[in-house]
Amino acid sequence: MAQYCIILKMFRIASTRSIISEVAAWRCLQRTTTAPNYSTKPQLWFRSPSLSFRSTSTNSFLRLRPVSWLPSCLCHGTSQGTSDRDESKKGFSLGALSKAPKPALYLGFSGLIPFLAAPVLMAATQSFYPEVAYAQMVYGASIVSFLGGARWGFAIPEGSPAKPDWMNLGNSVVPSLLAWVALLCRDNIAEGALVVIMGLGLSLHYDLTLLPGYPAWFKAMRTVLTLVATFSLVATLTLKKFCPEKRLKELQK
């Protein structure tokens, strides 16, 4: 009987210690879970109906859910247009002519022949020919009108940086009107030539600065062609002032 009482006391002491240890362990667990986190890396919790987990840091979250797709998605299909617009905004140099297509380069510079032929002929004969000067002025007027039409055609296609609005299409009409005014100055070639020079300069200003521009090679080519055409008209007006006036029929004799 005494041994039975000793065993019962020992069982009670053991059970009491186990209960105390379990309570202490539970309190310690509560303190651990409720204690503030002083870690420098923020803890993130993610919960879903079927899964609950914790990431140790924001870096883990970024690795699980990459966001690098966003810029590529936004730029998809527009990288070429962006590069074209950036290229049109940049400055240009004569070195850009090396990137010009051969047909545009050859046809563009061959279009200077009628401009240069008139002053070269007058300088060679030391005479001013009104017929030749008028032909040069008419050709210049046609080029001015062509430049306005090119801007109109550039604004019409879908996706063009020059939208078909009042500004682009309205400015495209102005060179054609200047060309028409120049053709009306048949009796005064000097005034007609000055109007053509004004139209060439205005068209170049449109293409380089005012409106959404063309590629760098076209800007460089347009600048060179406009300068040569302008100087040829100025040379013709200079020869008119210093050379005697003759008729083209006299040259044929």
**pLDDT tens digits along 140-187:** 999 999 999 988 888 888 888 888 888 888 889 999 999 999 999 988
Mean pLDDT, the chain, rounded, equals 75
- Residue 36 pLDDT greater than 90, yes or no: no
- Dihedrals φ, ψ of 164, to 5°? -80, 65
- Residue 18 pLDDT greater than 80, yes or no: no
Span 56-77, average pLDDT: 39
- Residue 188 pLDDT greater than 70, yes or no: yes
pLDDT computed for residue 93 by the predictor = 75
Span 73-85, average pLDDT: 40
Pairwise pLDDT comparison (12 vs 40), residue with the higher score: 12
pLDDT computed for residue 88 by the predictor = 47
Span 65-90, average pLDDT: 41
User: Are the C-beta atoms of residues 88 and 113 closer than 8 Å to each other?
Assistant: no
- Dihedrals φ, ψ of 62, to 5°? -65, -30
Give the separation between CA 36 and CA 179, rounded to whole angstroms. 82
**Which residue bears the tokens 């503030």?**
36
pLDDT computed for residue 197 by the predictor = 97
Give the separation between CA 133 and CA 190, rounded to whole angstroms. 9
The percentage of the chain sitting over the pLDDT mark of 70, rounded to a whole number, equals 62
pLDDT digits (tens, 9 = 90+) for 221-252: 999 999 999 999 999 999 999 999 988 777 66
- Residue 44 pLDDT greater than 50, yes or no: no
Banded model confidence at residue 123, pLDDT cuts 50, 70, 90: very high
- Residue 124 pLDDT greater than 60, yes or no: yes
Sign of CA dihedral 246, 247, 252, 253: negative
Pairwise pLDDT comparison (193 vs 159), residue with the higher score: 193
Span 110-122, average pLDDT: 96
